[in-house]
Amino acid sequence: MQRVLLIGDGARENAFASALSYLRLYALSSFINPGIKKIVDSSGGKYYIGDINSQEFVKKVKDDVNPDFAIIGPEDPLFHGISDVFYQEGIPVIGASSKNSMIEKSKTWMRQLMWKYGIPGRLRFKAFSSIEDAAKFIMEYGGSVAVKPSEQVGGKGVKVVADLQAYLSQEKRLALSKSVDKIGELVSDKVKVIVEERVDGPEYTQHVLTDGQSYLPLPLAQDYKHAYQDGIGPETGGMGSISGPSSLLPFITEEEYEDTFDIVRQTAKAVERETGEKYKGFISGQMMLTDLWGPTVIEYYSRMGDPETSAIIPRIKNFGEVLIRAAEGHLNKVKPEVVETSSVVWVVSPLGYPLDRTIARGKRIFVDVKKIEDFGCQVFFGSTSLEGGQIITQGSRALELVALGDYNEAVKKLERCVSFVGSETRLIYRTDIGKSIDDMIEKAEIIRYSYKKRKSKGTLGISADWSPNGGMW
C-alpha cells in the first residue's frame, strides 16, 4: 500500500485525507485535527505534531515515514520551502516550490509577471514601499481602487475605495489614511502596499493541478468571503462555497471557463520562465468576471483554496487517483470523474472569528458526525484540536459541512445537518450560502453584455486611466 504524508491541519487537508483514505496516511499538523486523525488511525498510519513550517522538523518526519509521495495543503509551508525538502531528495510532492509560490506570496510580483508576459485579465496597479506614498497616491488619483498588503496575509487587509464623492471629503481622506496605516501594521516591518484599479463582478476560483507537463482544470467554485449573512462584515478566509453543476458555475459560461483556464495555464508557464523551476502542484486563480477583461485575476493561490476544496473534492469520485498521478508525473493518464451534482459548503466558526481570535479559541464544540452523515452531509474539521477526547477550537474556522444536490436541495440538507453541531460558545455560520443563485446569474449577465461589446470592439483591458507604462498609472 502506498504511503502518503499529508502536511497541514485544516478542513482542506481533511478533505484531501478523505480522498486518500484508501492509502496508508501519515499526517503532520500543528495540532490534532479530529477528522484527519480518524483517517490516519483507520489507515494504519501515524500522526505527527510539530512546526509544519520548519524544514528541519519536516525532514525528520519524512525520514521516519519514508513516503511514496507527500502533499502540502496550506501556503505557509510552501513559502517556507517545505516542498523543496521533498524535491531535493527526489520524493514526489504535490506543492509548489518556494520560488514558484511567489505567485501567491507577493501580489506585486504576480502583477508584474502578468504585465511582463501580457497575460489577459491583468489589472493596473501601483506598488509602494511606504504607506505615506500609497495614501498620497490614492488621494491624488481619485478613482476607485482596492488597497492591499503586497504580501499574503490570509485575505486580511483588503480595502476598497469606491465612494468617490464622499472620498474627496476631508473626513474620508482621514479615514482612508487610517485604513492604510492598519494595513501597514499587518505586514509589520516589510511594509509594502499595492493599489489596484477596482473592478466589480461575480467572483469564482479556478483551481488547476499540474505535474509540470499537463494541466488539469478542476470544477469551478465560489468562495463567500464575508463573515456575516448576505455578505456583510469583515473579510474572512471564507465562510462557505459552492461548486457545480458539472465543471461550471451557474453564472459562468463554458467559454469563460476555457478563457480562465488559459489565463491560469499561461501564468504557470510564465512563473516557470521567471524562476527556472517547473511549476508542480496547484495554481489557483481567484477570479472575477468584469466588463474590463471578462475573466480577471484578483489574486493567485499556490495551493487549493479553503473552503473551495471542500466543495470540489466530494464532487470528484477519483480525486485520490488524480493526486497520485499528479505526484508521479503522469497526470495525463487520469481523467477526473466529476459528478454533475452541485455542492454547497457552510463553514461553522466560533464567536470571535475573525476579529478576536482569543475569544474564538479554547472552546469545546460537539459534533454528531453520524447524524450529519445520516442526513446526507459530510463534515471536514478545520481549526479544532482533539484534546483529551474533546474537540477544542483553535481560534479560526472550526469545521465545514458539505452537501451535494441541486442548490436548493443541498441547502435544505445543510439546514438539518448544522443542528448537529453545538458548542459552549456561540457558533457563527451563514445560511445564505447556496441561495440567491439567480441574482448572481443576473449580475453576470449585465457584466457579460458590456464585456462582449468590448471584445467585439477590441477594447478588452483598456480603461479611461490607461497608461502604456507597464500597468503602472
Where on the chain is the footprint of ligand GLY (CB under 6 A)? 155, 223, 237-238, 301, 305-306, 308
Nearest residue (CB) to ligand GLY, 29 versus 241: 241
Alpha-carbon distance 442 to 444, whole Å? 5
Nearest residue (CB) to ligand GLY, 223 versus 321: 223
Nearest residue (CB) to ligand GLY, 126 versus 225: 225
Q: Which residue do the cell numbers 452541485 mark? A: 342
User: Shortest gap between Cβ of 233 and ligand GLY (angstroms)?
Assistant: 16
User: Shortest gap between Cβ of 78 and ligand GLY (angstroms)?
Assistant: 13
User: Shortest gap between Cβ of 155 and ligand GLY (angstroms)?
Assistant: 5
**Residues in Cβ contact with 178 at an 8 Å cutoff, skipping those fewer than 6 apart:** none
Here the cell at position 368 is 454528531
Nearest residue (CB) to ligand GLY, 155 versus 250: 155
Nearest residue (CB) to ligand GLY, 53 versus 177: 53
Nearest residue (CB) to ligand GLY, 6 versus 221: 221
Alpha-carbon distance 225 to 239, whole Å? 6
User: Shortest gap between Cβ of 301 and ligand GLY (angstroms)?
Assistant: 6
User: Shortest gap between Cβ of 178 and ligand GLY (angstroms)?
Assistant: 25
User: Shortest gap between Cβ of 5 and ligand GLY (angstroms)?
Assistant: 22
Expressed in angstroms, the distance from the first to the final Cα of the chain is: 56
Nearest residue (CB) to ligand GLY, 9 versus 308: 308
Alpha-carbon distance 184 to 377, whole Å? 41
Nearest residue (CB) to ligand GLY, 224 versus 420: 224
Alpha-carbon distance 445 to 203, whole Å? 13
User: Shortest gap between Cβ of 221 and ligand GLY (angstroms)?
Assistant: 9
Q: Residue 136, Cα to own-chain centre: how many angstroms? A: 31
The identity of residue 401, as a single letter, is L
User: Shortest gap between Cβ of 375 and ligand GLY (angstroms)?
Assistant: 26
